[in-house]
Structure 1
């Protein structure tokens, strides 16, 4: 952790959201064919809100998001009940987990070190809004 409690709070909030994303990924991968579309929809909505917060405030994270957005677009074009979806979703799941780990270990701490306190407060507020609007995840 850093010597800035506000920056630490942002990093912890993003970690919590990454945990939610991981649960949502597991929900999709473990869902039966009938439930998969709904689980994928919840994942898409949360990921979209999380990405919007990153895009607004974290420049380097924005550059890393383009690949994730491409994955989601490709997945939504597939039949959720197909084996092709299952295979590609598994690949996406690995990519997204790698992406979130890189953010927590490198991208976000570096971005926060370069921010003023006012900027950190804005970032925290943006991620708090994402958490407040998130759908419940079992």
Structure 2
């Protein structure tokens, strides 16, 4: 947070989300039944919108400050994580390989967050004004509002792909979730 206005900047916002993601990873590992299902659904949603917003807003801005190699490495990590997350989403929590693949996702996500926090974010903070970092936080919130709520690795990691494909895919995801919620409520 900036001390002048109390407004959150983009780096603080993303680090806060990293903490939420870590907590959800732990909850999925330690819970069972409906609680585990809900924690996994929230993890899928948060990772999908978080990565989409980073790809649209943060990584392009960080290229000048952190360099292409750093940003390209983060994009590869995100692409790998999206593929794993999609695999887990498709197989379901009861699949025999879920635990093994979830452990791989956890390692990938935690390593990725650590790399962002140690390399990309400090460079971005150093090379970007406080006012721009606050504006970027608002842009990330907007990008997350229209982002898909589940992984779509076939969309890639390019910001233009996210801008063009993100809103229609997000609508599809939200309709799919609403239909699933409706079915569950009527089956109970």
Residue equivalent to 1:28: 28
2:84 counterpart of 1:71:
yes
Residue in structure 2 matching 1:90, options 83, 100, 103: 103
Deviates more, 1:26-35 or 1:51-60: 26-35
Q: Deviations over 1:29-82 (max 9, x none)?
A: 112144333221111111111112101111324443111111111111213123
Structure 1 CA distance, aligned partners of 2:139 and 2:17? 12
Which protein, 1 or 2, shows the higher relative CO under an 8 Å CA cutoff with sep ≥ 6? Answer: 1
| TM-score, normalization by structure 1 | 0.74
Name the SS of the counterpart of 2:91 in structure 1: coil
Structure 1 residue 114 displacement after superposition = 4.5
Structure 1 residue 101 displacement after superposition = 0.2
| TM-score, normalization by structure 2 | 0.57
Task: Give the length in aligned residue pairs.
Answer: 126
Name the SS of the counterpart of 1:77 in structure 2: helix
- CA root-mean-square deviation: 2.8
Residue equivalent to 1:45: 45
Structure 1 CA distance, aligned partners of 2:10 and 2:110? 19
Deviates more, 1:87-96 or 1:32-41: 32-41
Deviates more, 1:99-108 or 1:55-64: 55-64
Residue equivalent to 2:16: 16
Distance 1:126 1:47, change over 3 A: farther
Structure 1 residue 25 displacement after superposition = 0.6
Q: Which has the larger radius of gyration?
A: 2
Unaligned runs of 5+ in 2: 1-7, 61-70, 145-188
2:106 counterpart of 1:103:
no
Distance 1:32 1:116, change over 3 A: same
Unaligned runs of 5+ in 1: 1-7, 131-138
Structure 2 CA distance, aligned partners of 1:39 and 1:120? 30
